[in-house]
Chain A
């Protein structure tokens, strides 16, 4: 092999030559070598053969005196690059590197194996677009562009990760997003110092401000329409290559409760369902705790008939009510986790059969009281209505905290725990946006899309 003028190129060629998965082709054009370097498994080899190698070999020599040979190739986009680590990255991204006279050019010949576009499994909607993000960032961005056609849409690309790099792209609408917010997101993404980023969930945790909080600081979604809606509202989205989850920042508690369905149906029934969802989340967190505090501290607060029937059903239950509640909660959580881990066809069957059979048998055996089964099962079902899985996880963890406080100090303890929770939530911020906005701080103009989604304006604007 003939040496080039630049020693960097020699190093690069030598480095690549050691790796037999990398294809290095040397073509002699006009008596000087052109190197074509690519990784065959992630490149469209046909494209390379047809649009690079073949034209180079057939090249008409006279025509190519003035401009570099490579610029005359019938390719859509040839980029001249400088540094050698950038070259390496380009090759790893599936680009083809061309070297001519010590100048480096890259051509997009990417062909990673990707999955078909499918409906996201975790976020189900009844109406509206059914496409879901896949593992290719390029495809994801194309999906977003399909739903959001505006020249405001801006992307800023980053590569993060020390040992192996991951492409990350920050998307926002120039005229909608607050520049400070965009700066903050970009700063946090740039500051990530990690060896390897495996998924959006890792990025999410690395850009969070308060890793001790249970509540998600950002919103994670697999739905392009959700991203487009958020961008229009002025939020910022972070795409991570290789991950179908796109991160939306900032997140507020209010926004986490919303589902895209809320916007696709008429406003009165949609608002009713939204209120129902808030209510169910509240029940799911607080019901077991209230039940425990009522039956082990404040017997006078239960209606007499109910008190007597609870007393009757608890007769002969050997364990204290708190342990009983804990036992049932743990059972439900185990069943839920098992349902997620088990292979698809048998997962639901096992969890449903497990819940019914275990609950029924536990009551018959006299280990738990039937009312406790009702309370725990209902609060578990209520938690399924929460649209965001990360929030649902947070609420499930909180339930145990409230249960414990109620078991120690009754309603008083429960109220103390709710106080603590409120203190945390009012202080909590997601990218400098108060988490409880628009309730605390109180922005009544933003209440139009909170508990109730008001009807859309017919003359422009989101909702009135």
Chain B
């Protein structure tokens, strides 16, 4: 008995496989990866290394030092590039702390996204939770921008979506795991977009990846992101702003407290009719119409009505963009067809983008104002 236990324990020690200890200061922690089209026509990869000794310490020190180093190399495969980093850096790259993967739109125009992310899915060091972004700018420029509050541009990019629950024009982060899910389900999807303006990194709409080639198709402007998020039922908060011209005694802001989208799908004569019903709960966030008569019946309904038509308009705008301009379903509406009309879906999933372009979508929004704030000045 005792011998058996000893043997079992010994085997446990021998079954460890390839295993090596490496001190934390000897590895190159990679914060961000940027992928771009190189001048030679193949892939250029930017790895953002942390330079620990340049991190400003708590008690003062020189804050002008740049705590990161970007190593940019080109090659045919990402693996080749990563290994070739050793030409320049003695620290083996370690991707366990990877915060951001940034694609340039020019690269995704000519290369397939599913091929580009193969390494990230295959290698054990990459996490499926790393968010993915797309930009029109040069990836090198984005990664060289030193943010004011964060230390690393890669972290700044990831953190941009932290307020996505308060402002629905900012897209939620898309993790590389979700991206691979869309790819294996053969769906079009949106990658959160970025742009550079006056040396600052800004969130800027989203880029469409088509399901046909998994290449970049075009942009959804940030003003349309609200509509996108209503359709995706992804609203956690946000605001609806009415200018002086849009509402009497304006400007006025409604703050979204929550919203729920319900889907209704019918098939009539081989034609899909989809009805979206949005129920939004809002509070009166700011009202410049101090002389508004609150005793007049219907003043609240007027605002609610304005909000309804605003929501409906923003949704139809996005649907139009998807159906007419890009002819691809990046809004994941196929999901609801699959759920509500499974037979129709199984017949038509092969040419779904075509069916989608001809589908009829109607929207009905219902806004309620439940809160009016603490005090009215008059």
Contacts and interface: CB of A to CB of B under 8 A. Distances in A.
A34 interface: no
A410 B99 CA distance: 25
Interface string B334-358: 0000000000000000000000000
B19 A409 contact: yes
Nearest to B24: A295
B185 interface: no
Nearest to B2: A427
A308 B55 contact: yes
B1 to A, nearest CB: 10
Contacts of B9: 416, 419-420
Contacts of A314: 23-25
Contacts of B23: 295-296, 314, 320-321
Given A312-B55, A314-B23, A314-B24, A409 B99 contact: no
Name the residue among A309, A311, A317 with the largest chain B CB count within 10 angstroms. A311
Interface stretch (A20-28, A253-261, A297-305, A360-368): A297-305
B53 interface: yes
Interface in B1-57: 5, 9, 12-13, 16, 19, 21-25, 27, 29, 50, 52-53, 55, 57
Contacts, number: 75
B131 to A, nearest CB: 14
Contacts of B57: 312
A403 to B, nearest CB: 13
Contacts of A37: none
Name the prevailing secondary structure of the A interface residues.
helix
B74 to A, nearest CB: 27
Contacts of A304: 29, 97, 99, 155
A312 B52 contact: yes
B25 A299 contact: no
B264 interface: no
Interface string A411-429: 0110010011001000000
A299 B94 contact: yes
A407 B94 CA distance: 20
A418 to B, nearest CB: 12
Given A409-B16, A412-B16, A299 B29 contact: yes
A299 B155 CA distance: 18
A309 B13 contact: no
Interface in B84-143: 94, 96-97, 99, 125, 127
B89 to A, nearest CB: 15
A416 B12 contact: yes
Given A304-B99, A416-B9, A420-B9, A410 B50 contact: no
A315 B52 contact: yes
Which size bracket describes the interface of B in this complex?
A: 20 to 34
Interface string B288-329: 000000000000000000000000000000000000000000
A11 to B, nearest CB: 54
Contact of B96 (A300, A311, A316): A300
A321 to B, nearest CB: 6
Given A296-B21, A423-B5, A311 B50 contact: yes
Interface string B178-192: 000000000000000
Contacts of B27: 299, 311
A296 B16 contact: no
B97 A300 contact: yes
Name the residue among B13, B22, B23 with the largest chain A CB count within 10 angstroms. B23
Contacts of B97: 299-300, 304, 307
Given A299-B94, A416-B9, A420-B9, A311 B24 contact: yes
Given A308-B52, A309-B55, A297 B21 contact: yes
Contacts of B5: 423
Given A304-B99, A412-B16, A416-B12, A311 B21 contact: no
Interface string A309-334: 11110111100111000000000000
Given A296-B22, A412-B19, A311 B13 contact: no
Contacts of A407: 21
Given A312-B52, A409-B19, A412-B19, A299 B13 contact: no
A310 B55 contact: no
Contacts of A321: 23-24
Nearest to B50: A308
Contacts of A409: 13, 16, 19
A317 B127 CA distance: 30
Given A412-B16, A416-B13, A299 B24 contact: yes
A408 to B, nearest CB: 8
Interface string A434-454: 000000000000000000000
Interface string B51-75: 0110101000000000000000000
A296 B24 contact: yes
A315 B91 CA distance: 13
Interface in A157-184: none
Contacts of A413: 13, 16
Interface in A283-302: 295-297, 299-300, 302
Contacts of A295: 23-24
Nearest to B99: A304
A409 B19 CA distance: 7
A351 to B, nearest CB: 29
Nearest to A310: B24
6 contacts: A296-B22, A300-B97, A304-B29, A311-B52, A312-B55, A315-B53
Return the 5 tightest CB-CB contacts between A and B, nearest first. Answer: A300-B96, A312-B52, A311-B52, A314-B25, A295-B24
Interface of B: 5, 9, 12-13, 16, 19, 21-25, 27, 29, 50, 52-53, 55, 57, 94, 96-97, 99, 125, 127, 155
Given A312-B57, A407-B21, 5 more contacts: A295-B24, A296-B23, A299-B29, A300-B96, A308-B55
